[in-house]
Chains A and B, each alone.
Chain A
Amino acid sequence: MTWTAEDIQHWLKQFADQIHEHKDELTDLDQKIGDGDHGINMARGVKEMNKLFDEKTFATPGELFKAVAMVYIGKIGGASGPLYGSAMMKMASSAGTQETLSDKELIDALKAGKTAIEQRGKASVGEKTMVDVWVPLLQKFDGSDVDWNAFSDEADELKAKTKEMHAKKGRAAYLGARSVGHIDPGSASSALFFQTLAATARERG
């Protein structure tokens, strides 16, 4: 499909709805292996993002990504704020001043976001972080002729795979082997991010 700023806004509003719906679940996962505030932090960030959407309209996807980046950095806090915020910032640069994005261009922007997350978090695949969803998912779907059902399923499976991983980053790393058996909360919110993207593509494409 062709993504306008409004389509992207629709996606991110769905993401916000899902974060609110899964807020307790995210916090619960984070209480098991982190500092227990992921649901609260994400909910605070997306609530502020929705406020931004109520007040302002955006001419381009790039402009929207940039404004959302500043909200995430300022309002989510923790490690997720700089990680999601840096991703959005790089997505804004990748999208540039184009009025619309093709699926391929949107996936390219997400890949730029993925690189920002890897660099900011200094994390690699297999360390039980959001990288374990972002990297393999965007490796598998390069943007030409995306099967959005498969995309959504893959995001969910990648999230589930973090359950058996041994955490190497963040507060969970202090738990060592005791982190095994719990899904990584950052991967869980990332799955919602990509699943709502796929849902928007199916609904509007």
Chain B
Amino acid sequence: MDRVSLVFVSHSADIVKGIKALLYEMQPEVNIAVAGGEEDGGIGTNAMDIQQAIDTVYTDKGTVILFDLGSALLNAELAIDMAGDERLVKIADAPILEGGYAAVVEAGFGSSVDKVVDAAEKARSMRKIPQD
């Protein structure tokens, strides 16, 4: 089955490495690429790295990006602009870990890009401690 792929963008290489490992355990059939940190090992994000990450997992089914903070969004948007209009790549406005968790589950079912984005964004309002 063709599945939506995911790209995780963080200021820290360690954060996305950890997220990828965690989600692989959950759903190994969804392709995940990551872009984290600056090339010198420092903290930051970079549009070129994000573009490369998209390239490694992109299929016609599309790709969803999850990001951590501020400038990660600017660089993700720029990476999409540089790749051109014909690609189906969307950014989810979601917490990177909880949203990523929901996204990998939804993508595992073979859902569309829009449904994967939607699942990730719903994670924003999910309670983590059960209320009675």
Report A44-85 CB contacts with B as 1/0, cut-off 8 Å.
100000000000000000000000000001100111011101
- Report Cα–Cα, A35/B70, bound state, in Å: 11
Known: A79-B70, A170-B71, A171-B70. A74 touches B46 (CB 8 A): yes
A120–B46 Cα distance when bound, in Å, is 14
CB pair A120–B44 under 8 Å, yes or no, is no
A73 touches B43 (CB 8 A): no
Q: Given A73-B48, A77-B38, does the pair A82, B74 have CB atoms closer than 8 Å?
A: yes
Indicate whether A195 reaches chain B with its CB closer than 8 angstroms: no
Query: Is B78 in the interface zone, CB < 8 Å from A?
Result: yes
Question: Please, how many residues of chain B have a CB less than 8 angstroms from a CB on the other chain?
Answer: 17
Residues of A within 8 A of B40 (CB): 44
Give the total number of A-B pairs whose CB atoms are below 8 A apart: 47
Q: Is the CB of A81 within 8 A of B43?
A: no
Chain A binding surface SS class: helix
Beta-carbon contact of B74 and A79 below 8 Å: yes
Number of interface residues of A (CB under 8 A): 19
User: Is A189 interfacial (CB-CB < 8 Å)?
Assistant: no
Closest chain B residue to A173, Cβ basis: B70
Given contacts A73-B47, A171-B70, contact A81 B75 (CB under 8 A): yes
Say which residue of B44, B47, B70, B75 sits within 8 Å of A41 (CB atoms): B44
Residues of B within 8 A of A78 (CB): 44-45, 71
Binary per-residue interface labels of chain B (74-117) against chain A in the complex, 1 for a CB within 8 Å, 0 otherwise: 11011000100000000000000000000000000000000000
Select from chain B the residue with minimum beta-carbon distance to A36: B43
The interface of chain A, by Cβ under 8 A from chain B, is 35, 37, 40-41, 44, 73-74, 77-79, 81-83, 85-86, 120-121, 170-171
